Amino acid sequence: MNRKVTFKDIGLVDYKDAWDYQEKLFREVVDKKLANRSLTEEEKEFTGNYLLFCEHPHVFTIGKSGSENNLLVNQENLAQRNIAYYKINRGGDITYHGPGQVVAYPILNLDYFFTDIHRYMRSLEEAVIRMLAEYGIKGDRLKGMTGVWLDVDHPAKARKICAMGVRTSHWVTMHGIALNVNTDLQYFSLIIPCGITDKAVTSMAKELGFEPNTDEVKAKLKKHLAEVFEYEYIS
């Protein structure tokens, strides 16, 4: 079992460049898994596991099951606002990425952890919930929804602080977490976030009344992901 994860913070990076990089790592892991099938136990090699952190310039992305009706502006308006737009191969609907948002992309071979997508999503949520607790923010799960939410016991007040969408193939993951830290929430008014019409979006800065240090948030999230998934970093 290989529960060692290579960590890389690739900084502020164009969404398509980060997507291409994910795809490269994802394909390497899948290809090695498939090659291992024809080898003896002695010949098989461990596949890699990766965790990428980054931020993106302004961009809307929509998943395979998403509705373009949830994009509330046209292409000309997107261009005027300098917002990119991509249809991508994760689950979920439309979401926003931008500066001040911490994005985490785990590329994990779940054969080394657990082959259960429901548990995988709940584990991602758990890491974010534990990290938020360090700032006195009570994150929680909202029945029937993915991501991390606040005030789930008061439906009229429930709001999302962290969106999630993943892709898996051969039990290898990609895409992941978008945590609003110091995010400009005005951009969410240009979409129906995740296709949900009756719930607001929030950020750590809005909840705390000040802008937390992004590097500190990253460090805490990195730690909690390792604890929840019981792995260790090798860089």
Judge whether 107 and 28 are in contact, CB under 8 Å. Answer: no
What residues does 97 pair with on adjacent strands? 59
Q: Which residue in 217, 168, 166, 163 sits closest to 188, CA to CA?
A: 163
**In angstroms, rounded to a whole number, what is the distance separating the alpha carbons of residues 164 and 104?**
10
Q: Is 225 helix (H, G, I), strand (E, B) or coil?
A: helix
Question: Pairing mode, if any, of strands 84-87 and 148-150?
Answer: unpaired
Q: Specify whether 194 is catalytic.
A: yes
Which of 62, 148, 174, 194 is flagged as catalytic? 194
**In angstroms, rounded to a whole number, what is the distance separating the alpha carbons of residues 201 and 145?**
14
**In angstroms, rounded to a whole number, what is the distance separating the alpha carbons of residues 188 and 107?**
27
State the catalytic residues.
Answer: 194
